Amino acid sequence: MKNVFFRIKFVKIIVLVFLSICSVYSNGGTVVCSGKVDSLSYHSPNKFMVKLESMNRAVFFCDADTNWNVSGTGYVTGPESCKTMYSTFLAAKMAGKQIKSMYFDGADVPVNCSSWESWKSASIRHYVLED
C-alpha cells in the first residue's frame, strides 16, 4: 500500500514540475521582422539594441559580457554570439543589406513588428541576410 501512495505522490510531483517548466516557456511570443538595419546601438551596461526598417522601436537583443536570457524563452545567447551578431548587423548596415527574416522571441515580443514598446528585450533565435 505504501508503494502505491509513493508512486501517486511521485507522479504528481513529476506532473507539477513538467507543468511549471512548460509555463515558463509558454509565456513568450515570436515575431519575425525584416528590412535593412535602421539603427544599431549600445546601452550601458554592455547591452546592444537593434532596429530594422519594419520595426517602430529598437529592442535590446544581447549583452556583450554575460549570457542573455529573457523570460519566455528556453535558451541563452552567450557573449561571443552577441558580439558576432552585433558585427554582422553592423556589416549589413554599412553594406545596405536586407535582413530577410529575424526571429525575435520572449515575453516582451509584440504581435507585429510595428508594435514594440519602449525599452523592451528579446532574444534573436535566427536571422537570414539577403544577397
Give per-residue pLDDT as tens, 58-101: 999 999 999 999 999 999 999 999 999 999 999 999 999 999 99
Is residue 89, in this structure, part of any structural domain at all?
yes
**H or E stretch including 104?**
strand 98-106
Domain holding 122: CATH number? 2.40.50
Give per-residue pLDDT as tens, 43-62: 999 999 999 999 999 999 99
Residue 91's domain comprises 28-129
Q: Which of 44, 50, 25, 53 is nearest to 124 (CA)?
A: 50
| Structure-block grid coordinates of residue 74 | 528556453
Is residue 14, in this structure, part of any structural domain at all?
no
Number of domains in the chain: 1
Query: Does the predicted TM-score (pTM) go above 0.85?
Result: no
